[in-house]
Structure 1
Amino acid sequence: MKKTSRKKLIIVIIAIVLIISGGAFFALNGGSPAPSYATESVRRGDIENSVLANGMLQASKLVSVGAQASGQIINLPVALGQQVKQGELISQIDSLTQQNTLKEALASLTSNEAQYRAKQAQINLAQQEFNRQKAMLADNASSKADYESAQATLLVYLAELDQLKAQQEQVKLSVESAQLNLGYTTIKAPMDGMVVYTAVTVGQTVNSSQSTPTIVELADLTKMTVKAQISEADVIKVKPGQAVYFTILGQPKKAFQRDLTRH
């Protein structure tokens, strides 16, 4: 009886140990979730061979509007970011000097025209005197000296008239130049666009004697250009007319489709 009781006790102890070990195993491993795998159905598609390059988005047309006249800026009605139309006022330079130059040129032209008319009157009288002396000489009623004197006077007056005529052309050119310089003091937009840069302020003096100072820069933003440099290894993979796309920092998830061109 004692041997049988001892065997039963050993069996019970072994069973208890197995139960405890099994419970510990399931406690440690039974609660862990099964691993999950990402799957995708197999399908046919295109493989994209990409050529990546960084670039800069620029306006297709950028114009520097400069001053062709020297003087003080007295009006600058445009501001950075403003949209302007062709012919709209960009800036006004003080035109007092140019106005005075034009007045002087006009006064010289008026004086020249008056001298020209006076000389024509002298020529008319000299022509009459010459004709009279010529007729009298034919009738032996005048001396040859008087005839030659009348002829010389007429020729001198005609030469002086030619000189006044040449001066008149020069004065007219001076008037046109003065008018042109006066027009340069009013600076207008050469095209439609946005003001992307202003170089001067009201009260500032610009000097155009050596170079053309920039007043503003206008950009046509209706058409943009992306300028990018492609590595030498990738140049052979691209060609003009090829479809490309680009993204910008403000909209990194939006692709803009365009065609590739060479510059």
Structure 2
Amino acid sequence: MPNLIAKRFSARRSAVLLVPALALAACSGGGGDKAQGKGKGGQPGQGTPTVGYVVVQPTSVAMTTELSGRTTAFESSDVRPQVTGIIRRRYFTEGTLVKKGQPLYEIDQRLYRAAANEAQANLQSAQANQQAQKVLADRYKPLAEMEAISKQDYTNAVATSRQATASVAQTRAALETARINLKFTTVPAPITGRIGRSLFTVGALVSATQTDPLAQIQRLDPMFVDIQQSSGDLLALRRSLGQNGIVATRAEVRLTLEDGSEYGATGSVEFAEALVNTETGTVTLRARFPNPQGLLLPGMFVQAKFAQSINQRAFLVPQAGVSRDAKGNATVYVVDANNKAVQKKIKADRTQGAFWVVTEGLNSGDRIVTQGLSKIAPNQSVKPVPENTAQKIEAPKGDSSGGDQASQKKAG
């Protein structure tokens, strides 16, 4: 009897445990089917990706070049003595602006004044002798015609008169030389500009044959900038002119100073030397800049940026639309007439602001993909829209009830 009761109790306990298990299995099976069905519905085909594009047209683009250069004074002159002597006075302050012809130094004048006085006296003596010889020749003339004196005496008198006239000219030239030397004792400024330090002081002996100048004057407004360009680049530029829409232009130059700041004023290229430096293989281009504030000083290192030509058939492509392959070749995706993304190789050697300057590989009216590049592959069908087109975002279907329930739950 006890065994029978135990068996019945065990059977009832098994039945009680089996019912929840079957219910759980039934729930699990339904949920799995729904989950599986949702997975099938949630993995439709990727679809056609939407990409943004820009339409490019040929335009005139300045082909800019950035080269290094050095500043050079517009005019530079050494102050040198023309005569030998002791410096008696200095009339300028070092580092100031001097005018052309302004006295700078005075050399001892005493010897040169004496030489000028001596030359003046010699001239007067020669003039007196000339007058006497001329009167004598004039007196001999009628006597020679009358044969009162020999013709030889008259000829000698005329020759002596002419020699006296030549002597007057010689002494007059000597007087002029003496006066010039006397004038050279005052050393003037040869040009207008800023004068540097004086290399000789009062009391120093100077001469016309010395190697060192007394001082140096430099004109700093305007200022020259000598730019070095490779002869190969210059040759390529000259060959390209007149081809593929490339024309020459008058270069407007902008400078970047040694501290990285931009020099406000712009300059222009004056000329290019017809000579290649055999050591560096470069040609010097000289640009001229205004320098009213004296910011540019001779010998400064600068970076010059300027345009030597204009490409009238270039394309400006946003940098976001240009990529590089493993070999470094520039490529873009172009949307063709069938709305397929076709990859093209282009030639883009330089940038201008936010754009690449493309000189080869594109045609007028090409649609260049600039947005959504990560979603496409070569020759893939795409849905093109203009760049930065606003996208309409809708709420997912079937979420309204859920939203209402969430709202009701929140309200409850």
* Aligned counterpart, 1:39: none
Cα offsets for 1:122-152 (capped at 9, x unmatched) = 3344446556xx2xxxxxxxxx7xx344x44
SS of 2:128's partner is helix
Answer whether contact 1:74 1:92 (CA < 8 A) is retained. Answer: yes
Give the gaps of 5 or more residues in structure 1: 1-42, 135-143
TM-score in terms of structure 2 length: 0.43
Is 2:110 the counterpart of 1:102? no
* Aligned counterpart, 1:253: 261
* Aligned counterpart, 2:173: 173
Answer whether contact 1:240 1:260 (CA < 8 A) is retained. Answer: no
* Aligned counterpart, 2:75: 61
Q: Distance in 1 between matches of 2:174 and 2:251?
A: 56
SS of 1:214's partner is coil
In the TM superposition, residue 121 of structure 1 has moved relative to its aligned partner by 3.4
Amino acid at match of 1:55: G
Q: Distance in 2 between matches of 1:54 and 1:173?
A: 54
Cα offsets for 1:201-224 (capped at 9, x unmatched) = 22211121x467522221111101
* Aligned counterpart, 1:137: none
SS of 1:220's partner is strand
Q: Distance in 2 between matches of 1:118 and 1:129?
A: 17
Q: Where do 1:199-218 residues align within 5 Å?
A: 199-208=199-208, 210=209, 214-218=213-217
Answer whether contact 1:70 1:207 (CA < 8 A) is retained. Answer: yes
Amino acid at match of 1:200: F
In structure 2, relative to structure 1, the CA distance for the partners of 1:154 and 1:205 (3 Å cut) is same
Higher relative contact order (CA 8 A, sep 6+): 1
Cα offsets for 1:72-102 (capped at 9, x unmatched) = 1212212331101122112222122222221
Answer whether contact 2:140 2:149 (CA < 8 A) is retained. Answer: no
In the TM superposition, residue 55 of structure 1 has moved relative to its aligned partner by 2.9
More helix by share: 1
Is 2:221 the counterpart of 1:222? yes
Q: Distance in 1 between matches of 2:267 and 2:156?
A: 77
Answer whether contact 2:194 2:219 (CA < 8 A) is retained. Answer: yes
More strand by share: 2
Number of residues of Structure 1 aligned to a counterpart in Structure 2:
204
Answer whether contact 1:73 1:202 (CA < 8 A) is retained. Answer: yes
Q: Distance in 1 between matches of 2:68 and 2:182?
A: 47
* Aligned counterpart, 1:182: 182
Q: Percent identity?
A: 23
SS of 1:198's partner is coil
Cα offsets for 1:204-262 (capped at 9, x unmatched) = 11121x4675222211111012223345676557987333322324x633333333443
Amino acid at match of 1:253: S
Cα offsets for 1:178-198 (capped at 9, x unmatched) = 122222222212322111353
Answer whether contact 1:66 1:212 (CA < 8 A) is retained. Answer: no
Q: Distance in 2 between matches of 1:199 and 1:234?
A: 44
Q: Distance in 1 between matches of 2:202 and 2:249?
A: 46
Aligned pair partner of 1:75 in 75, 89, 100: 89
In the TM superposition, residue 153 of structure 1 has moved relative to its aligned partner by 3.3
TM-score in terms of structure 1 length: 0.64
Q: Distance in 2 between matches of 1:233 and 1:148?
A: 87
Q: Distance in 2 between matches of 1:177 and 1:76?
A: 25
